[in-house]
């Protein structure tokens, strides 16, 4: 059988050029499109989509970066937990580098604390079993995409009676911050690119109330450049036809109902928090999850409550990460971008995360002239 390239087919320059020409022909007004997910931001920047699309298509960057939206006080929780005696703290990649109010996990690790960056969340089970005399805390982050894996870990900890594994849950959900941003009205958003990996778990039906409430098209898009281009075309056609619907461009992975088994697993071990503070956005009711009370013996926020700081911490005054997450500003609008704030010396989380808008602009921004449709 001939070899089939499952990636290059979605990066074909001729296909991208043809889609750009169709969009330019059919788009008759300015359309502000918020790409919720940071993965889409990096695709847009890496493949130069802002340059090949017509000038009346404007991308607005959203809050779909799980590291970026984490407020400093939650990072301070991780730092406090990692500082406890006889403790191993494990988390996923980028969280290590995000600055808290006084330090970061990366700096703390350099000082000798046992802080581990995981390639797979499942590794935390091995760590706990290999270190029975230590408390192992998993600092769990992510949107609906990564939540099922944490639920699996909780399930295994319960079933195998692992006594030294605890969870600090920071899983957040997509619809609620979109609702808050649209209520604010500052970002002037005409349509959304819906996140793809999140939608694999949730299904695309979760966006239908938002599309109806705000009369705003939402198209769930894959991460490849032709996915984004085809999704933009769907948005243009919805606006031209006066429709405000949820469409699914990423049909090869996303369904209406999503992964029902994963949803059931999450609901078995987790439930909505009454509220959760998002970096730069503020308190958003029912926008995050926590461990159910019956499994509170695994909840690091309960077990180690006395070690955790309670003060809310705002970003550095020069950092505009909050405005970027709300779609009110772009990285080039920040006075410290690429100067005092760089990937090696980040002032804010948007520069740290591999999904952050500032990270994308720093890495690929040479493709854009400062001030040009960026």
Residue 353 maps to a domain: no
The answer to whether residue 132 sits within a structural domain is: yes
Q: Looking at the domain assignment, is residue 14 inside a domain?
A: no
**Structure confidence at residue 8 (pLDDT):** 66
Using one digit for the tens of pLDDT, what is the confidence trace for 193-218? 999 999 999 999 999 999 999 999 99
Which structural domain range is residue 112 located in? 72-173+258-307
Looking at residue 370, its pLDDT comes to 44
CA 112 to chain centre: 30
Query: How far is 188 from 29, CA to CA, in rounded Å?
Result: 14
d(CA 309, CA 260): 37
Angle at 29 between CA 215 and CA 334, to 5 degrees: 85
Domain of 274: which CATH number? 3.40.50.11740
What pLDDT score was predicted for residue 34?
97
Q: What share of the chain is helix, strand, coil (3-state, %, to 5)?
A: 45, 20, 35
- Mean pLDDT per block of 10 residues along the chain (374 residues) reads 57 93 96 95 94 95 91 95 97 87 93 94 95 98 96 97 97 96 89 96 98 97 96 98 97 97 98 94 95 98 95 84 91 92 88 89 71 41
Three-state secondary structure call for residue 210: helix
State the pLDDT at residue 330. Answer: 92
User: Does any domain span residue 159?
Assistant: yes
In a domain, 150, yes or no: yes
Write down the pLDDT at residue 5.
52
Given this model, what pLDDT does residue 290 score? 98
**191 found inside a domain:** no
Total domain count for the chain? 1
DSSP state of 371: T
- Asked if residue 268 is part of any domain, the answer here is yes
The pTM score is 0.91
Q: In this predicted model, what pLDDT tens digit does every residue of 75-113 receive, in sequence order? A: 999 999 999 999 999 998 788 988 898 999 999 999 999
142 is a domain residue: yes
In terms of Cα–Cα distance, which of 148, 239, 251, 149 is closest to 194?
251
């Amino acid at each position: 059988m001939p070899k089939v390239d499952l990636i290059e087919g979605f990066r074909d320059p001729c296909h991208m050029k043809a889609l750009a020409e169709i969009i330019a022909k059919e788009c008759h007004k300015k359309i502000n499109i918020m790409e919720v997910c940071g993965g889409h931001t990096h695709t847009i920047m890496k493949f130069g989509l802002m340059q090949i699309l017509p000038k009346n298509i404007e991308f607005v960057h959203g809050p779909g970066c799980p590291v970026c939206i984490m407020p400093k006080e939650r990072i301070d929780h991780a730092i406090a937990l990692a500082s406890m005696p006889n403790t191993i703290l494990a988390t996923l990649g980028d969280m290590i580098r995000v600055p808290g109010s006084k330090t970061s996990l990366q700096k703390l690790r350099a000082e000798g604390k046992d802080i581990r960056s995981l390639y797979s969340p499942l590794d935390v089970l091995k760590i706990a079993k290999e270190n029975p005399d230590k408390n192992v805390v998993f600092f769990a982050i992510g949107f609906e995409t990564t939540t099922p894996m944490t639920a699996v870990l909780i399930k295994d900890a319960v079933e195998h009676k692992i006594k030294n594994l605890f969870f600090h849950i920071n899983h957040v959900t997509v619809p609620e911050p979109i609702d808050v941003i649209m209520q604010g009205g500052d970002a002037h958003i005409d349509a959304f690119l819906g996140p793809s990996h999140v939608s694999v778990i949730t299904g695309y039906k979760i966006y239908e109330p938002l599309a109806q409430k705000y009369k705003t098209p939402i198209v769930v898009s894959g991460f490849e450049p032709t996915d984004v281009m085809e999704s933009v075309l769907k948005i243009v056609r919805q606006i031209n036809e006066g429709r405000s619907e949820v469409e699914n461009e990423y049909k090869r992975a996303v369904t209406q109902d999503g992964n029902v088994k994963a949803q059931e697993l999450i609901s078995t071990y987790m439930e909505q928090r009454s509220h959760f503070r998002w970096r730069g956005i503020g308190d958003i009711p029912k926008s995050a999850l926590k461990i159910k009370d019956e499994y509170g013996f695994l909840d690091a926020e309960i077990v180690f409550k006395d070690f955790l700081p309670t003060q809310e911490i705002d970003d550095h005054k020069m950092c505009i990460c909050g405005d970027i997450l709300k779609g009110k500003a772009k990285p080039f609008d920040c006075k410290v971008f690429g100067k005092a704030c760089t990937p090696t010396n980040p002032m804010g989380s948007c520069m740290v995360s591999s999904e952050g808008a500032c990270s994308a602009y720093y890495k690929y921004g040479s493709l854009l002239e400062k001030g040009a449709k960026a």
